[in-house]
Amino acid sequence: MNRDEFIGMMSKNLKLVRTEFGLNQDKMAYCLGISKKTLVEIEKERSQLGWTGAAALAEIFSDSSVLQNAFGGEMSDLVKALAFDDTTVNFRQTHGGKVWWKQIEETDKWKIQQNYISQHYRLLTAGNRCVYSSFHLEKVRQAAEEYEKNME
């Protein structure tokens, strides 16, 4: 998944999320910082959210069942994977990926998992802290090698 695909999926789910939260178009537009006219155009599939609007929708409505089911769990993980694709940052503690994640590789120091739905990868420490996230497995493997070197 790339940013354009993410934006497209978020745009298509906008009305479902609005309905799920019981918001009218005025309130939803206000929450996202866009005009009602823009929201209507997006809901009628005449326009799409931009990157900022899609990321805002994902973060503000991160508890949405619609979004979690469409993208495979935590929305912030996906947004961060897209935002920090070529950048290393400190991520939050995870629960170890019991629902939306499959194990790709594992050592006693780290594990690489892939999200079943969005297909992005993440590198977790042995204590389940996410230290890197990307849509490119090779980048995650490189991050794992660097992580292991830094632990020595």
Token pair, residue 47, equals: 């326009």
What values do phi and psi take at 117, rounded to 5? -95, -55
Q: What is the mean pLDDT of the chain?
A: 90
Kindly list the distances between the CA atom of residue 86 and the CA atoms of 83, 135, 136, in Å, as whole numbers in the listed order. 8, 10, 10
pLDDT confidence of 129, banded at 50, 70, 90? confident
- What mean pLDDT is predicted for residues 4-31? 96
pLDDT confidence of 74, banded at 50, 70, 90? confident
Q: Is 90 exceeded by the pLDDT of residue 133?
A: no
Neighbours of 76 (CB within 10 A): 15
Q: Is the dihedral of CA 43, 46, 47, 48 positive or negative?
A: positive
Under DSSP, the state recorded for 129 is B
pLDDT confidence of 50, banded at 50, 70, 90? very high
Lowest mean pLDDT among 4-13, 17-26, 65-74, 107-116: 65-74
- pTM exceeds 0.85, yes or no: no
Q: Is 80 exceeded by the pLDDT of residue 21?
A: yes
pLDDT confidence of 44, banded at 50, 70, 90? very high
